[in-house]
Structure 1
Amino acid sequence: MTDHKLEIIPILNDEEHGKKQLSKKRSLWSDTTFPQKLLLIYICAGQFTVFLCVGTPNPFLVNTILERKGSAIEGSILLQVTLISMAISSIVFGKYQIYFNSKTMLLLGLTCFTACQAGFGLLEFVSNVSVMVAAGIAIRLIQGIGQGAYVVAALTIICQEFKDHIAIVFGGAESLLAIGYISGPMLGSVLYNISRSLLLPFLISSAFLVPLIIVGCLLLKSSKCVNVNESAKILSTIRQPVSAFVAGSVVTTTGVYGLINVLGSTYMKRRGFTVIQIGAALLTCAASYGSAAFITGFIVNIGLKARRLIYIAGLIGIASCQLMLSPTQTMAGIFVSMMCSGVFGAFTLISGFGELIEQARSAECESSNVFALHSALSGIWNLATGLGAFMFPLIGSQLYTVMEYRFVLMSEVGTGLLLSALCALSLYGWQTCICTYTFIS
């Protein structure tokens, strides 16, 4: 079978989209054409709206299940199950996006995500809690697949269209993601309090996605497929020891955020903090991440030294900021810890993505396969973020029954970084052995 790839600059519906960007010494706005500016706004709007929908059910879904005589575990599964299907589907989409195009994948992903968001609200009319949970899990699993298609296509577009300013655009997109995730629970709380049902929050939030689908159909252009001799192998993007360690640190960092979202509120509630204080603390973490992500993108874009320095600072910070928690916890300590987690996590993730891009580009890869390379990277990135956000809270919930919250955080962060380092060292040792054997032969 003949392999195919997509054009390197694929999706703007304008003749200027084929022009190369100018020198990266200029600003992002100066280096982009008008259609690219529209695309940038579109991607940021998509990040905000999708994660607004993701965060909408957080304040009320578990309580709704409890009110219907279900269990807290069932409610938690409904909230978290999209992460695992998003993670698994992302690696598949990252590998096979080369046979389709970014426009098709992005719009199909958005359409699937939107339909499932609206469809979940219809479970309000299902009275049997067992049937409701089973149907809800099925819908959320499919929604995770739609989200996987969307996030892989969106990240590939960022890599393809803004090659000289990837860190800046990625940081800005992450900031909008954080703002959307912050806004989602607030929107969900208001709509749920008005209706006291699942229907209104899910229908209203899904309606925000419809204009994105329509605009995407008009703005984006399907890529042309051309024949190539070979396509980039997905594992080639992480075969370097540095890339393996960075991927592991991404899993760990997103796992920290998963732990904070799932266990943080329980921890603060046990310490006697009010609902408003808990919400403000979680808001501080997300807001700090969004602000730091935007700024970090500009710092990382300066060059190699800046990127690696801020990455190292992020790793040290995310590993040590949990020391601010104590058995006699004060509200000030909570807020400082949350703020540091947001800032240092942004340092790690934004600079880490930039490092993965550079490591992948430095690997042996045909220039004609740049799209496949970026597609594979997008799949790997979203696999790592989804696994971290799903697995860490799952393991942490069990550990929390036998140890304090701060020790859960520290043990999981330490284990994650240690395993990342061991994986990187193993790859380095394997490559050294292969090189030695080849030299002797």
Structure 2
Amino acid sequence: MIGSTNHRIEMIGLFEASTDSRLLTRSCGNCSLHASHRSPIEEIKKVPITKRQILCLIALAYGNFCVAACVSLQAPFFPAECDIKGVSSLVYGLIFGIYELVILVASPIFGKMFAYVTPNFFLEAGLFLAGGTTVLFGILDKLSGPFEFTLFAFILRIFEGAGAAAFLTSCYTIMPLEFPEHISFLFALLETFFGLGLIVGPTVGGALFELGGYIMPFATLGSLMLLGSLVSIILLPKSGDYTQSKSPSVFSFLCDAGTLLDVLTIAGCLNLIGFNAATLEHHLRQFSLTPTEIGSIFIITGSVYALTNPLWGKLGEYKFDARWMAIIGTAINIVGLLFMGPVDFLPIQPKLWLVIVSLIIVGVGMAAKQVSAYIACLNDTINRRGYPNETSTYALVSAVNFSSCSAGAFVGPTVGGYLLGTIGYRGSTQVILGFEMLTLLLHIIYKIYGPKPSI
């Protein structure tokens, strides 16, 4: 599971489109995914964005920002709180990871339900549920016993994950329907807002923790997410005119080598994020940093991810091969992982500046991988595999995308917490490095021997 701005959308003009023209845009195949219907000049032509689309973008971007901020805010101080309560690193790794496991299971279920209930409803309800549970998470420090603390932490993270799954699956179903001419760039732009949330979450979370104690960051950012539910109700356009049909089988959808490779690529991105969320704070303790300083370290990858996402998205919009983009991004990640610990077989001692540089490198690589995998999966699904260009297909791709994110984000902190307690942070990074090297090898093999991209 996992998708996020310092960049603005370039708009040539604003106009109000009629209902009939919106329906035509959604129901026909003449969108950016169907190059066979467009001339090379038309493919790179700037298409004006309507007022309806701007309001929709504001709602989707705000929701992505809030979800990311709330899921990441506890990274600088929650592990230390668990230590105080007597909760092991393996258990608090599972507390981080259960959120993603719920998204992994719930996203395909919600995607199938879009044939009967509008994505708007799930988006608004998801923000409300996730925001409410985030606020409640702020009172966990009142529970003195490790069992009670762990039990209620798991319960709240489960419900928060269900809310996030409803929002994210809905968001990336609505996005290609509302922006058929800007799918690549708008995906990257929403990921930029998600990245900004990853920046603000631990930074503001650490500062608010120092200012007002454990409850302050959860109450503040949780309330902002509850506000996001109201914002979505006001700004999102009515979704009754979306073309809807029964969603195809997830199992049959996954029976494709290219799709499975995209799933592996997406999972790898969130695997690394989740791994660091559960383990990096422990690694940074040797540098005697304050909670605010640790929070600042945590924002580095998210900052770079947010800044570079639109650049990769623009490359995708101008038909840069998504498979090559994934290869480049994976190679960049490998370089960052070599020096983040650094790995044991390098004769280098851990240094704070080396951690910072490695996090910057990893942020660039993750942005390339995330954008490339989503675009490759969507293009292949419609152009190569012949799925219909409608809501059910977008919902299916979105559900699989966020299930993949969540699979990686669940494995990352869960396995990371176990590895941290057994072989330490430096040894743990070698396991993640091995996964990235395997992913790179599979991408190269698929690029050489797999089907050629549609033109």
Mark yes or no: TM-score above 0.5: yes
Q: Quick one: distance in 1 between partners of 2:241 and 2:190?
A: 26
The whole-number CA distance in structure 2 between the counterparts of 1:287 and 1:171 is: 14
Which is further off, 345-354 or 276-285? Answer: 276-285
Contact kept, 8 Å, 2:202 with 2:295, in 1: the verdict is no
The alpha-carbon deviation at position 222 of structure 1 amounts to 3.6
Partner in structure 2 of residue 385 of structure 1: 405
Provide the C-alpha distance between the structure 1 equivalents of 2:70 and 2:432, rounded to a whole number of angstroms: 29
Q: Distance in 2 between matches of 1:339 and 1:314?
A: 13
Mapped to 1, the partners of 2:267 and 2:225 lie a distance apart of 28
Per-residue deviation, 1:74: 4.2
Deviations 1:106-154 (A, max 9, x none): 1111121122122223445444442232122112101111110111000
Alignment of structure 1 residues 345-360 onto 2, 5 Å? 345-360=366-381
- Give the letter aligned to residue 358 of structure 2: S
Cα separation, 2, equivalents of 1:227 and 1:204: 37
Alignment of 1:37-186 (within 5 A): 37-186=54-203
What are the within-5 Å matches in structure 2 for residues 331-342 of structure 1?
Answer: 331-342=352-363
Give how far 1:44 is off. 0.9
Q: Distance in 1 between matches of 2:393 and 2:364?
A: 29
User: Structure 1 residues 394, 73: CA separation in 2 closer, same or farther (over 3 Å shift)?
Assistant: closer
Residues 17, 36 of structure 1: 8 Å contact kept: no
> What's the TM-score once normalised by structure 2's chain length?
0.80
Which position in structure 2 is the counterpart of 1:308?
323
Query: Unpaired segments of 5 or more residues in structure 2?
Result: 1-15, 26-30, 33-41
- For 2:356 and 2:70, how far apart are their aligned partners in 1? 26
| Letter of the structure 1 residue corresponding to residue 430 of structure 2 | M
Q: 1:262 aligns with which of 278, 283, 286?
A: 278
Specify the SS of the correspondent of 1:118.
helix
**TM superposition shift of 1:231:** 4.2
Match of 1:242 in 2: 258
CA–CA separation in structure 2 for the residues paired with 1:378 and 1:420? 23
Distance 1:167 1:217 in 2: 25
Report the AA paired with residue 259 of structure 1. F
Extract unaligned runs of 5+ from structure 1. Answer: 1-11, 432-441
Which string of whole-angstrom CA distances, capped at 9 and with x for unpartnered residues, describes residues 308-334 of structure 1? 332221122222332233441333322
Query: Offset at 1:173?
Result: 1.0
Residue 329 of structure 1 corresponds to 350
**Residues 1:263 and 1:202: Cα distance change in structure 2 (over 3 Å):** closer
Compare 213-222 and 99-108 and name the one that shifted more: 213-222
Task: Report if the CA contact (8 A) 1:174-1:290 is conserved.
Answer: yes
Indicate the residue corresponding to 2:225 in structure 1. Answer: 209
RMSD of aligned residue pairs (Cα, Å): 3.2
Cα offset, 1:76, TM superposition: 3.9
Of 53-62 and 293-302, more deviation after overlay is shown by 53-62
User: Where does residue 26 of structure 1 map in the other structure?
Assistant: 45
Which whole-Å deviations, capped at 9, do the CAs of 1:188-214 have from their partners, x for residues lacking one?
22333333242x332222221233222
Return the offset for 1:37.
Answer: 1.2
Distance 1:116 1:374, change over 3 A: same
